[in-house]
Structure 1
Amino acid sequence: MSQKPFVIGLTGNIASGKSVIRNYLANFGAYTIDADLTARDSYLPGTPAYQSILDYFGEDLCLADGQINRSKLGRIVFSDPEKLKKLEEIVHPYVHEAISEQIENCDRPILVIEAIKLLESQVVSLCDQVWTAAADKQVRFERLVENRGHSESLAWTKINSQAPQEEKIARSDTVIWTDNSFEETFQQTMEAIRRLGLPLVRQIDQNSLHLRSILESQFSCACDLMSAGTNQEWTCDRIYHVMAAKLTPVLIYKEEVIQVQRLSTRQNLVMLTHQTPIKTEQASNHEILPMLEAWLQGAYSLFVISRELLPSKDAWQCDFLPGEDIPEEITQSTYVSFLKENGLMPGEVWVKKISNN
Protein backbone atom coordinates (compact mmCIF):
# COMPACT_ATOMS: atom_id res chain seq x y z
CA MET A 1 0.00 0.00 0.00
CA SER A 2 1.36 3.47 -0.90
CA GLN A 3 1.93 6.16 1.73
CA LYS A 4 -1.23 7.78 3.10
CA PRO A 5 -2.01 11.11 1.43
CA PHE A 6 -1.95 14.41 3.29
CA VAL A 7 -5.66 15.01 3.92
CA ILE A 8 -7.02 18.57 3.82
CA GLY A 9 -10.53 19.19 5.10
CA LEU A 10 -11.91 22.21 3.26
CA THR A 11 -14.90 23.99 4.75
CA GLY A 12 -16.60 27.39 4.73
CA ASN A 13 -20.05 28.90 4.76
CA ILE A 14 -22.32 29.08 1.73
CA ALA A 15 -20.88 30.89 -1.34
CA SER A 16 -17.50 31.33 0.34
CA GLY A 17 -15.47 29.88 -2.56
CA LYS A 18 -14.84 26.32 -1.35
CA SER A 19 -15.25 24.72 -4.78
CA VAL A 20 -12.90 27.24 -6.39
CA ILE A 21 -10.14 26.29 -3.94
CA ARG A 22 -10.89 22.57 -4.36
CA ASN A 23 -10.58 22.91 -8.13
CA TYR A 24 -7.29 24.79 -7.86
CA LEU A 25 -5.98 21.96 -5.68
CA ALA A 26 -7.21 19.41 -8.25
CA ASN A 27 -5.19 21.26 -10.89
CA PHE A 28 -2.11 20.84 -8.68
CA GLY A 29 -2.75 17.09 -8.75
CA ALA A 30 -4.80 16.55 -5.59
CA TYR A 31 -7.46 13.85 -5.28
CA THR A 32 -10.62 15.77 -4.42
CA ILE A 33 -13.93 14.78 -2.84
CA ASP A 34 -17.13 16.83 -2.73
CA ALA A 35 -18.77 15.53 0.44
CA ASP A 36 -22.13 17.00 -0.59
CA LEU A 37 -22.09 14.90 -3.77
CA THR A 38 -20.94 11.89 -1.76
CA ALA A 39 -23.96 12.41 0.50
CA ARG A 40 -26.31 12.60 -2.50
CA ASP A 41 -24.81 9.44 -3.97
CA SER A 42 -25.38 7.67 -0.65
CA TYR A 43 -29.14 7.69 -1.21
CA LEU A 44 -29.34 6.67 -4.83
CA PRO A 45 -31.74 3.75 -5.49
CA GLY A 46 -30.29 0.52 -4.17
CA THR A 47 -28.11 2.11 -1.49
CA PRO A 48 -28.74 1.47 2.24
CA ALA A 49 -29.63 5.10 2.98
CA TYR A 50 -32.22 5.18 0.17
CA GLN A 51 -34.84 3.04 1.90
CA SER A 52 -34.12 4.57 5.32
CA ILE A 53 -34.90 8.03 3.94
CA LEU A 54 -38.14 6.86 2.30
CA ASP A 55 -39.16 5.06 5.51
CA TYR A 56 -38.73 8.21 7.59
CA PHE A 57 -39.71 11.01 5.19
CA GLY A 58 -42.35 9.18 3.16
CA GLU A 59 -42.65 7.29 -0.11
CA ASP A 60 -44.02 10.42 -1.81
CA LEU A 61 -40.40 11.63 -2.05
CA CYS A 62 -39.87 9.02 -4.75
CA LEU A 63 -39.88 10.29 -8.35
CA ALA A 64 -41.19 8.30 -11.30
CA ASP A 65 -37.69 7.01 -12.13
CA GLY A 66 -37.14 5.82 -8.55
CA GLN A 67 -34.84 8.68 -7.59
CA ILE A 68 -35.39 10.63 -4.38
CA ASN A 69 -36.70 14.13 -5.07
CA ARG A 70 -33.76 16.08 -3.65
CA SER A 71 -35.43 19.46 -4.09
CA LYS A 72 -38.45 18.38 -2.07
CA LEU A 73 -36.25 16.73 0.57
CA GLY A 74 -34.18 19.92 0.77
CA ARG A 75 -37.27 22.05 1.38
CA ILE A 76 -38.40 19.70 4.15
CA VAL A 77 -35.14 19.71 6.09
CA PHE A 78 -34.32 23.39 5.47
CA SER A 79 -37.36 24.47 7.48
CA ASP A 80 -37.16 21.80 10.20
CA PRO A 81 -33.92 21.39 12.23
CA GLU A 82 -35.09 18.10 13.72
CA LYS A 83 -35.68 16.56 10.31
CA LEU A 84 -32.33 17.90 9.10
CA LYS A 85 -30.68 16.22 12.07
CA LYS A 86 -32.44 12.95 11.22
CA LEU A 87 -31.34 13.12 7.59
CA GLU A 88 -27.74 13.67 8.71
CA GLU A 89 -27.98 10.74 11.11
CA ILE A 90 -29.04 8.52 8.20
CA VAL A 91 -26.53 9.78 5.64
CA HIS A 92 -23.37 10.72 7.56
CA PRO A 93 -22.25 7.16 8.48
CA TYR A 94 -22.28 6.20 4.80
CA VAL A 95 -20.42 9.38 3.82
CA HIS A 96 -17.78 8.74 6.48
CA GLU A 97 -17.35 5.15 5.30
CA ALA A 98 -17.08 6.15 1.62
CA ILE A 99 -14.50 8.88 2.32
CA SER A 100 -12.46 6.61 4.62
CA GLU A 101 -12.27 4.03 1.84
CA GLN A 102 -11.11 6.62 -0.69
CA ILE A 103 -8.38 7.84 1.66
CA GLU A 104 -7.23 4.25 2.20
CA ASN A 105 -6.99 3.62 -1.55
CA CYS A 106 -5.57 7.00 -2.60
CA ASP A 107 -2.04 7.10 -4.02
CA ARG A 108 -1.96 10.84 -4.73
CA PRO A 109 0.13 12.93 -2.27
CA ILE A 110 -2.79 15.26 -1.44
CA LEU A 111 -6.45 14.44 -0.82
CA VAL A 112 -9.01 17.22 -0.30
CA ILE A 113 -12.46 16.83 1.26
CA GLU A 114 -14.82 19.74 0.66
CA ALA A 115 -17.59 19.72 3.27
CA ILE A 116 -19.71 22.61 4.51
CA LYS A 117 -20.33 20.73 7.79
CA LEU A 118 -16.85 19.30 8.11
CA LEU A 119 -16.35 20.47 11.71
CA GLU A 120 -19.73 19.10 12.79
CA SER A 121 -19.04 15.62 11.39
CA GLN A 122 -16.74 12.71 12.12
CA VAL A 123 -15.01 13.33 8.78
CA VAL A 124 -12.88 16.01 10.47
CA SER A 125 -11.10 13.22 12.38
CA LEU A 126 -9.74 11.95 9.04
CA CYS A 127 -8.05 15.27 8.21
CA ASP A 128 -4.44 16.35 8.76
CA GLN A 129 -5.40 20.01 8.42
CA VAL A 130 -8.58 22.08 8.29
CA TRP A 131 -8.81 24.89 5.76
CA THR A 132 -11.59 27.47 5.65
CA ALA A 133 -12.71 29.45 2.61
CA ALA A 134 -13.91 32.85 3.83
CA ALA A 135 -15.54 35.91 2.28
CA ASP A 136 -17.40 38.97 3.48
CA LYS A 137 -21.11 38.39 4.03
CA GLN A 138 -22.07 40.98 1.40
CA VAL A 139 -19.83 39.28 -1.18
CA ARG A 140 -21.45 35.92 -0.45
CA PHE A 141 -24.90 37.51 -0.76
CA GLU A 142 -24.02 38.92 -4.19
CA ARG A 143 -22.70 35.55 -5.36
CA LEU A 144 -25.94 33.82 -4.38
CA VAL A 145 -28.07 36.40 -6.17
CA GLU A 146 -25.93 36.97 -9.27
CA ASN A 147 -24.38 33.53 -9.81
CA ARG A 148 -26.99 31.14 -8.42
CA GLY A 149 -30.16 33.07 -9.20
CA HIS A 150 -31.43 33.30 -5.61
CA SER A 151 -33.90 35.96 -4.63
CA GLU A 152 -32.49 38.51 -2.18
CA SER A 153 -34.69 37.21 0.64
CA LEU A 154 -33.68 33.59 0.06
CA ALA A 155 -30.00 34.54 -0.14
CA TRP A 156 -30.10 36.34 3.22
CA THR A 157 -32.14 33.52 4.77
CA LYS A 158 -29.50 30.96 3.76
CA ILE A 159 -26.61 33.13 4.91
CA ASN A 160 -28.17 34.01 8.27
CA SER A 161 -29.24 30.42 8.98
CA GLN A 162 -25.59 29.40 9.28
CA ALA A 163 -23.28 29.96 12.22
CA PRO A 164 -20.86 32.89 11.71
CA GLN A 165 -17.84 31.93 9.60
CA GLU A 166 -15.60 33.18 12.43
CA GLU A 167 -16.39 29.92 14.27
CA LYS A 168 -14.87 27.91 11.41
CA ILE A 169 -11.93 30.30 11.10
CA ALA A 170 -11.09 29.86 14.79
CA ARG A 171 -10.74 26.10 14.31
CA SER A 172 -8.74 26.24 11.08
CA ASP A 173 -5.09 25.71 10.25
CA THR A 174 -5.36 27.82 7.09
CA VAL A 175 -7.84 30.50 6.00
CA ILE A 176 -8.13 31.53 2.35
CA TRP A 177 -10.02 34.75 1.69
CA THR A 178 -11.88 34.77 -1.62
CA ASP A 179 -13.36 38.30 -1.56
CA ASN A 180 -11.19 39.62 -4.35
CA SER A 181 -9.86 38.17 -7.62
CA PHE A 182 -9.47 34.57 -8.73
CA GLU A 183 -5.75 35.31 -9.04
CA GLU A 184 -5.49 36.21 -5.35
CA THR A 185 -7.40 33.08 -4.34
CA PHE A 186 -5.14 30.94 -6.56
CA GLN A 187 -1.98 32.45 -5.10
CA GLN A 188 -3.17 31.99 -1.50
CA THR A 189 -3.97 28.34 -2.29
CA MET A 190 -0.60 27.82 -3.95
CA GLU A 191 1.27 29.41 -1.04
CA ALA A 192 -0.59 27.26 1.50
CA ILE A 193 0.50 24.09 -0.34
CA ARG A 194 4.05 25.39 -0.71
CA ARG A 195 4.30 26.01 3.06
CA LEU A 196 3.39 22.37 3.64
CA GLY A 197 6.14 21.21 1.29
CA LEU A 198 3.61 19.40 -0.90
CA PRO A 199 3.75 19.20 -4.73
CA LEU A 200 2.14 21.88 -6.87
CA VAL A 201 2.59 20.04 -10.16
CA ARG A 202 1.61 16.65 -11.57
CA GLN A 203 3.61 15.73 -14.66
CA ILE A 204 3.70 12.83 -17.12
CA ASP A 205 6.73 12.49 -19.42
CA GLN A 206 6.94 10.68 -22.76
CA ASN A 207 10.20 11.31 -24.59
CA SER A 208 10.15 15.00 -25.59
CA LEU A 209 6.49 15.42 -24.61
CA HIS A 210 5.34 16.46 -21.13
CA LEU A 211 1.78 16.73 -19.86
CA ARG A 212 1.67 18.76 -16.68
CA SER A 213 -0.25 21.08 -14.42
CA ILE A 214 -0.08 24.56 -15.87
CA LEU A 215 2.27 27.04 -14.16
CA GLU A 216 1.59 30.76 -13.88
CA SER A 217 4.71 31.35 -15.98
CA GLN A 218 2.97 29.47 -18.81
CA PHE A 219 -0.29 31.45 -18.72
CA SER A 220 0.85 33.92 -21.37
CA CYS A 221 1.73 31.14 -23.87
CA ALA A 222 -1.56 29.39 -23.07
CA CYS A 223 -3.47 32.62 -23.71
CA ASP A 224 -1.82 32.99 -27.12
CA LEU A 225 -2.83 29.44 -28.07
CA MET A 226 -6.38 29.90 -26.78
CA SER A 227 -6.84 33.25 -28.52
CA ALA A 228 -5.61 31.82 -31.83
CA GLY A 229 -7.61 28.61 -31.50
CA THR A 230 -10.94 30.05 -30.37
CA ASN A 231 -11.02 33.48 -32.06
CA GLN A 232 -11.67 34.97 -28.62
CA GLU A 233 -9.49 37.17 -26.45
CA TRP A 234 -7.89 35.18 -23.65
CA THR A 235 -6.18 36.86 -20.69
CA CYS A 236 -4.38 35.50 -17.64
CA ASP A 237 -7.41 36.48 -15.55
CA ARG A 238 -9.55 34.21 -17.69
CA ILE A 239 -7.15 31.29 -17.11
CA TYR A 240 -7.51 31.72 -13.34
CA HIS A 241 -11.29 31.77 -13.82
CA VAL A 242 -11.33 28.58 -15.93
CA MET A 243 -9.09 26.73 -13.46
CA ALA A 244 -11.60 27.56 -10.73
CA ALA A 245 -14.04 25.18 -12.46
CA LYS A 246 -12.02 22.86 -14.74
CA LEU A 247 -8.81 20.89 -14.93
CA THR A 248 -6.43 22.73 -17.27
CA PRO A 249 -3.24 20.75 -17.91
CA VAL A 250 -0.92 21.71 -20.77
CA LEU A 251 1.07 19.67 -23.28
CA ILE A 252 4.68 20.74 -23.64
CA TYR A 253 7.16 19.89 -26.39
CA LYS A 254 10.79 20.83 -25.77
CA GLU A 255 9.82 23.39 -23.09
CA GLU A 256 7.16 25.02 -25.32
CA VAL A 257 3.43 24.87 -24.54
CA ILE A 258 1.80 23.40 -27.65
CA GLN A 259 -1.71 22.47 -26.44
CA VAL A 260 -4.12 23.37 -23.62
CA GLN A 261 -6.62 20.80 -22.31
CA ARG A 262 -9.84 21.64 -20.47
CA LEU A 263 -11.69 18.95 -18.53
CA SER A 264 -14.93 18.93 -16.53
CA THR A 265 -15.16 16.71 -13.47
CA ARG A 266 -17.70 15.25 -11.09
CA GLN A 267 -16.17 13.16 -8.32
CA ASN A 268 -14.53 10.21 -10.16
CA LEU A 269 -15.87 11.18 -13.61
CA VAL A 270 -13.84 13.36 -15.97
CA MET A 271 -14.63 14.68 -19.45
CA LEU A 272 -12.29 16.26 -21.99
CA THR A 273 -14.33 19.21 -23.28
CA HIS A 274 -11.72 21.23 -25.20
CA GLN A 275 -8.28 20.81 -26.76
CA THR A 276 -6.67 23.96 -28.11
CA PRO A 277 -5.47 23.54 -30.75
CA ILE A 278 -7.37 20.33 -31.56
CA LYS A 279 -4.36 18.95 -33.47
CA THR A 280 -0.63 19.57 -33.14
CA GLU A 281 2.22 18.76 -35.50
CA GLN A 282 4.34 17.39 -32.65
CA ALA A 283 1.93 14.79 -31.26
CA SER A 284 -1.08 12.69 -32.31
CA ASN A 285 -4.05 11.56 -30.24
CA HIS A 286 -2.37 8.15 -29.95
CA GLU A 287 0.39 9.85 -27.95
CA ILE A 288 -1.59 12.54 -26.13
CA LEU A 289 -4.54 10.51 -24.81
CA PRO A 290 -2.46 7.86 -22.97
CA MET A 291 -0.49 10.68 -21.34
CA LEU A 292 -3.70 12.43 -20.33
CA GLU A 293 -5.09 9.16 -18.98
CA ALA A 294 -1.92 8.70 -16.91
CA TRP A 295 -2.22 12.28 -15.62
CA LEU A 296 -5.80 11.53 -14.49
CA GLN A 297 -4.95 8.11 -13.05
CA GLY A 298 -5.39 7.73 -9.31
CA ALA A 299 -8.09 10.39 -9.00
CA TYR A 300 -10.67 9.50 -11.67
CA SER A 301 -12.14 6.21 -12.86
CA LEU A 302 -14.06 7.06 -16.07
CA PHE A 303 -12.65 9.15 -18.93
CA VAL A 304 -15.24 10.69 -21.25
CA ILE A 305 -14.59 12.47 -24.57
CA SER A 306 -17.06 14.12 -26.93
CA ARG A 307 -17.27 12.45 -30.34
CA GLU A 308 -16.70 15.89 -31.85
CA LEU A 309 -13.19 15.89 -30.38
CA LEU A 310 -12.25 12.27 -31.11
CA PRO A 311 -12.81 10.60 -34.49
CA SER A 312 -14.09 7.02 -34.44
CA LYS A 313 -10.84 5.54 -35.78
CA ASP A 314 -8.80 7.21 -33.04
CA ALA A 315 -11.33 6.20 -30.38
CA TRP A 316 -11.13 2.50 -31.25
CA GLN A 317 -7.34 2.57 -31.53
CA CYS A 318 -7.11 4.18 -28.08
CA ASP A 319 -9.52 1.58 -26.59
CA PHE A 320 -12.48 3.90 -26.03
CA LEU A 321 -16.01 2.50 -26.14
CA PRO A 322 -19.35 4.06 -27.15
CA GLY A 323 -20.88 6.19 -24.41
CA GLU A 324 -23.69 3.73 -23.85
CA ASP A 325 -21.19 1.06 -22.66
CA ILE A 326 -20.17 2.32 -19.22
CA PRO A 327 -18.60 0.00 -16.60
CA GLU A 328 -20.99 -1.62 -14.11
CA GLU A 329 -19.48 0.23 -11.15
CA ILE A 330 -20.44 3.62 -12.61
CA THR A 331 -23.93 4.69 -11.54
CA GLN A 332 -26.03 5.29 -14.67
CA SER A 333 -28.03 8.21 -13.27
CA THR A 334 -24.91 10.01 -12.04
CA TYR A 335 -23.18 9.49 -15.39
CA VAL A 336 -26.14 10.76 -17.43
CA SER A 337 -26.51 13.77 -15.13
CA PHE A 338 -22.81 14.59 -15.62
CA LEU A 339 -23.20 14.41 -19.39
CA LYS A 340 -26.28 16.65 -19.32
CA GLU A 341 -24.37 19.23 -17.28
CA ASN A 342 -21.99 19.38 -20.24
CA GLY A 343 -24.75 19.46 -22.86
CA LEU A 344 -24.27 15.88 -24.05
CA MET A 345 -25.98 12.48 -24.10
CA PRO A 346 -24.43 8.98 -24.01
CA GLY A 347 -24.65 8.58 -27.80
CA GLU A 348 -22.51 11.70 -28.27
CA VAL A 349 -19.44 10.57 -26.31
CA TRP A 350 -16.72 7.94 -26.01
CA VAL A 351 -15.81 6.42 -22.64
CA LYS A 352 -12.86 4.54 -21.18
CA LYS A 353 -12.31 3.07 -17.74
CA ILE A 354 -9.13 4.51 -16.21
CA SER A 355 -6.91 1.81 -14.80
CA ASN A 356 -5.61 2.27 -11.25
CA ASN A 357 -2.43 0.35 -12.03
Structure 2
Amino acid sequence: MTRPWILGLTGGIGSGKSAVAQLFIEQGVHLVDADHAARWVVEPGRPALEKIVEHFGPEILQADGQLDRTALRARVFSDADERRWLEALLHPLIGQEIMQYLAKAQSPYAILVSPLLIESGQRALTQRILVVDAPEHLQIQRTMLRDQTTAEQVQAILKAQAIREERLRHADDVLLNDRDLDWLRSEVERLHTFYLTLRGGQP
Protein backbone atom coordinates (compact mmCIF):
# COMPACT_ATOMS: atom_id res chain seq x y z
CA MET A 1 0.00 0.00 0.00
CA THR A 2 1.33 3.46 -0.83
CA ARG A 3 1.75 5.72 2.16
CA PRO A 4 -0.96 8.37 2.44
CA TRP A 5 0.04 11.90 1.55
CA ILE A 6 -0.58 14.61 4.14
CA LEU A 7 -2.93 17.57 3.73
CA GLY A 8 -2.35 20.49 6.09
CA LEU A 9 -5.61 22.13 7.17
CA THR A 10 -5.36 25.56 8.74
CA GLY A 11 -7.22 28.83 9.16
CA GLY A 12 -7.56 31.70 11.59
CA ILE A 13 -9.59 31.57 14.79
CA GLY A 14 -13.32 31.34 14.07
CA SER A 15 -12.79 30.43 10.41
CA GLY A 16 -14.53 27.07 10.85
CA LYS A 17 -11.50 24.73 10.78
CA SER A 18 -13.13 22.34 13.26
CA ALA A 19 -16.36 22.11 11.24
CA VAL A 20 -14.37 21.43 8.06
CA ALA A 21 -12.19 18.86 9.89
CA GLN A 22 -15.31 17.05 11.13
CA LEU A 23 -16.74 16.91 7.60
CA PHE A 24 -13.53 15.33 6.31
CA ILE A 25 -13.70 12.74 9.14
CA GLU A 26 -17.24 11.92 7.94
CA GLN A 27 -15.69 11.20 4.53
CA GLY A 28 -13.47 8.59 6.20
CA VAL A 29 -10.26 10.61 6.21
CA HIS A 30 -7.71 9.97 8.98
CA LEU A 31 -7.16 13.22 10.84
CA VAL A 32 -4.67 14.39 13.45
CA ASP A 33 -5.24 17.60 15.39
CA ALA A 34 -2.05 19.45 16.38
CA ASP A 35 -3.89 21.02 19.34
CA HIS A 36 -4.62 17.54 20.69
CA ALA A 37 -0.99 16.53 20.18
CA ALA A 38 0.04 19.72 22.03
CA ARG A 39 -2.15 18.64 24.94
CA TRP A 40 -0.83 15.05 24.97
CA VAL A 41 2.81 16.11 25.23
CA VAL A 42 2.20 18.05 28.46
CA GLU A 43 0.14 15.37 30.24
CA PRO A 44 1.29 14.59 33.83
CA GLY A 45 4.15 12.12 33.77
CA ARG A 46 5.44 13.27 30.37
CA PRO A 47 8.96 14.82 30.32
CA ALA A 48 7.76 18.10 28.79
CA LEU A 49 5.60 18.90 31.80
CA GLU A 50 8.52 18.32 34.19
CA LYS A 51 10.69 20.73 32.19
CA ILE A 52 7.92 23.37 32.14
CA VAL A 53 7.54 23.13 35.94
CA GLU A 54 11.34 23.36 36.39
CA HIS A 55 11.39 26.48 34.24
CA PHE A 56 8.26 28.34 35.37
CA GLY A 57 7.83 26.96 38.89
CA PRO A 58 5.08 24.84 40.51
CA GLU A 59 2.50 27.65 40.31
CA ILE A 60 2.11 26.68 36.63
CA LEU A 61 0.26 23.53 37.78
CA GLN A 62 -3.34 23.08 38.84
CA ALA A 63 -4.12 21.36 42.14
CA ASP A 64 -4.58 18.01 40.36
CA GLY A 65 -1.11 18.15 38.79
CA GLN A 66 -2.36 19.11 35.31
CA LEU A 67 -0.79 22.04 33.48
CA ASP A 68 -2.59 25.32 34.18
CA ARG A 69 -2.88 26.47 30.55
CA THR A 70 -4.33 29.85 31.45
CA ALA A 71 -1.41 30.64 33.77
CA LEU A 72 1.10 29.43 31.18
CA ARG A 73 -0.56 31.42 28.40
CA ALA A 74 -0.43 34.57 30.54
CA ARG A 75 3.30 34.05 31.13
CA VAL A 76 4.28 33.42 27.49
CA PHE A 77 1.89 35.82 25.77
CA SER A 78 3.46 38.79 27.52
CA ASP A 79 7.10 37.66 27.16
CA ALA A 80 8.51 36.78 23.73
CA ASP A 81 11.64 35.10 25.20
CA GLU A 82 9.53 32.79 27.36
CA ARG A 83 7.34 31.98 24.38
CA ARG A 84 10.39 31.09 22.30
CA TRP A 85 11.73 28.87 25.11
CA LEU A 86 8.41 27.04 25.33
CA GLU A 87 8.14 26.64 21.54
CA ALA A 88 11.70 25.27 21.33
CA LEU A 89 10.76 22.65 23.94
CA LEU A 90 7.32 21.70 22.62
CA HIS A 91 7.44 21.98 18.82
CA PRO A 92 9.80 19.00 18.25
CA LEU A 93 7.80 16.86 20.72
CA ILE A 94 4.50 17.85 19.12
CA GLY A 95 6.00 17.07 15.70
CA GLN A 96 6.97 13.55 16.85
CA GLU A 97 3.52 12.96 18.32
CA ILE A 98 1.86 14.13 15.08
CA MET A 99 4.07 11.88 12.92
CA GLN A 100 3.22 8.83 15.05
CA TYR A 101 -0.50 9.44 14.62
CA LEU A 102 -0.24 10.25 10.91
CA ALA A 103 1.68 6.99 10.40
CA LYS A 104 -1.44 5.06 11.48
CA ALA A 105 -3.52 6.45 8.59
CA GLN A 106 -5.35 3.90 6.42
CA SER A 107 -7.01 6.48 4.12
CA PRO A 108 -5.44 7.54 0.75
CA TYR A 109 -4.54 10.86 2.33
CA ALA A 110 -4.48 12.06 5.94
CA ILE A 111 -5.08 15.51 7.41
CA LEU A 112 -3.04 17.48 9.90
CA VAL A 113 -5.22 20.21 11.41
CA SER A 114 -3.19 23.02 12.95
CA PRO A 115 -4.06 26.67 13.62
CA LEU A 116 -0.31 27.40 13.57
CA LEU A 117 0.59 25.25 10.56
CA ILE A 118 2.48 28.10 8.88
CA GLU A 119 4.03 29.76 11.96
CA SER A 120 5.21 26.56 13.71
CA GLY A 121 6.91 25.05 10.66
CA GLN A 122 4.47 22.10 10.76
CA ARG A 123 3.74 22.75 7.10
CA ALA A 124 7.02 20.86 6.43
CA LEU A 125 5.10 17.69 7.40
CA THR A 126 2.52 18.23 4.65
CA GLN A 127 2.42 17.90 0.85
CA ARG A 128 -0.52 20.24 0.29
CA ILE A 129 -2.23 23.03 2.26
CA LEU A 130 -5.93 23.82 2.52
CA VAL A 131 -6.74 27.16 4.17
CA VAL A 132 -10.21 27.70 5.60
CA ASP A 133 -10.84 31.41 5.29
CA ALA A 134 -13.62 33.68 6.51
CA PRO A 135 -14.22 37.44 6.57
CA GLU A 136 -12.83 38.94 9.80
CA HIS A 137 -16.24 40.10 11.07
CA LEU A 138 -17.47 36.49 10.87
CA GLN A 139 -14.36 35.17 12.64
CA ILE A 140 -14.92 37.61 15.50
CA GLN A 141 -18.65 36.86 15.71
CA ARG A 142 -18.17 33.06 15.73
CA THR A 143 -15.37 33.14 18.29
CA MET A 144 -17.25 35.44 20.65
CA LEU A 145 -20.22 33.05 20.52
CA ARG A 146 -18.08 29.94 21.00
CA ASP A 147 -15.68 31.17 23.69
CA GLN A 148 -17.80 33.84 25.37
CA THR A 149 -14.99 36.36 24.81
CA THR A 150 -14.93 40.04 23.87
CA ALA A 151 -14.21 41.38 20.39
CA GLU A 152 -10.94 42.87 21.75
CA GLN A 153 -9.72 39.47 22.98
CA VAL A 154 -10.51 37.88 19.62
CA GLN A 155 -8.69 40.66 17.77
CA ALA A 156 -5.61 40.13 19.97
CA ILE A 157 -5.58 36.42 19.00
CA LEU A 158 -6.10 37.29 15.32
CA LYS A 159 -3.03 39.54 15.51
CA ALA A 160 -0.90 36.81 17.14
CA GLN A 161 -1.80 34.23 14.48
CA ALA A 162 -0.25 34.29 11.02
CA ILE A 163 -1.39 37.24 9.02
CA ARG A 164 -4.20 36.16 6.73
CA GLU A 165 -2.28 37.12 3.57
CA GLU A 166 0.66 34.99 4.71
CA ARG A 167 -1.59 31.96 5.22
CA LEU A 168 -3.25 32.43 1.84
CA ARG A 169 0.16 32.77 0.17
CA HIS A 170 1.00 29.22 1.30
CA ALA A 171 -2.40 27.77 0.35
CA ASP A 172 -2.80 25.24 -2.44
CA ASP A 173 -6.56 25.36 -1.89
CA VAL A 174 -8.77 27.95 -0.17
CA LEU A 175 -12.21 27.19 1.25
CA LEU A 176 -14.13 30.41 1.91
CA ASN A 177 -16.44 29.51 4.78
CA ASP A 178 -19.04 32.29 4.71
CA ARG A 179 -22.24 30.32 4.06
CA ASP A 180 -24.24 27.57 5.78
CA LEU A 181 -23.25 24.05 6.80
CA ASP A 182 -24.94 22.32 3.84
CA TRP A 183 -22.90 24.42 1.44
CA LEU A 184 -19.75 23.70 3.47
CA ARG A 185 -20.46 19.96 3.36
CA SER A 186 -20.81 20.02 -0.44
CA GLU A 187 -17.51 21.94 -0.74
CA VAL A 188 -15.72 19.39 1.46
CA GLU A 189 -17.18 16.53 -0.61
CA ARG A 190 -15.98 18.25 -3.79
CA LEU A 191 -12.46 18.72 -2.36
CA HIS A 192 -12.39 15.15 -1.03
CA THR A 193 -13.27 13.76 -4.48
CA PHE A 194 -10.49 15.88 -5.99
CA TYR A 195 -7.96 14.84 -3.29
CA LEU A 196 -8.64 11.16 -4.00
CA THR A 197 -7.35 11.72 -7.55
CA LEU A 198 -4.02 13.10 -6.32
CA ARG A 199 -0.78 11.21 -5.80
CA GLY A 200 1.48 12.75 -3.20
CA GLY A 201 -0.83 15.74 -2.91
CA GLN A 202 -0.19 16.98 -6.45
CA PRO A 203 -2.26 16.57 -9.63
Distance 2:177 2:56 in 1: 37
For the residue of structure 2 that corresponds to 1:118, the secondary structure is: coil
Q: Counterpart in 2 of 1:31?
A: 30
For the residue of structure 1 that corresponds to 2:43, the secondary structure is: coil
- CA shift, 1:103, in A, is 2.4
Give the stretch that moved more between structures: 160-169 or 46-55: 160-169
Q: Pairwise mapping of residues 83-122 of structure 1 onto structure 2 (< 5 A)? A: 83-122=82-121
Q: Counterpart in 2 of 1:12?
A: 11
- Paired amino acid for 2:132: A
Q: How many residues align?
A: 198
Q: Counterpart in 2 of 1:147?
A: 146
- CA shift, 1:39, in A, is 0.5
- CA shift, 1:121, in A, is 2.9
Distance 1:48 1:170 in 2: 36
Q: Counterpart in 2 of 1:204?
A: none
Contact 1:96–1:122 under 8 Å retained in 2? no
**Which of 1 and 2 has greater Rg?**
1
Distance 1:108 1:194 in 2: 13
Q: Counterpart in 2 of 1:42?
A: 41
Unaligned runs of 5+ residues in structure 2 are: 199-203
- Paired amino acid for 1:179: D
Distance 1:82 1:41 in 2: 24
Consecutive aligned runs of 4 or more in structure 1 exceeding 4 Å deviation:
none
Q: 1:154 to 1:120 in 2, by over 3 A?
A: closer
Distance 2:84 2:113 in 1: 20
Distance 2:47 2:136 in 1: 38
TM-score relative to the length of structure 1: 0.53
Unaligned runs of 5+ residues in structure 1 are: 200-357
Distance 2:61 2:188 in 1: 41
CA RMSD of aligned residues (A): 1.7
**If each structure's strand is expressed as a fraction of its own residues, which one has the higher value?**
1
**If each structure's helix is expressed as a fraction of its own residues, which one has the higher value?**
2
Q: Counterpart in 2 of 1:165?
A: 164
- CA shift, 1:198, in A, is 5.1
Give the fraction of aligned pairs with identical amino acids, expressed as a percent: 26
Q: 1:102 to 1:143 in 2, by over 3 A?
A: same
- CA shift, 1:156, in A, is 2.1
Q: Pairwise mapping of residues 1-357 of structure 1 onto structure 2 (< 5 A)? A: 2-197=1-196
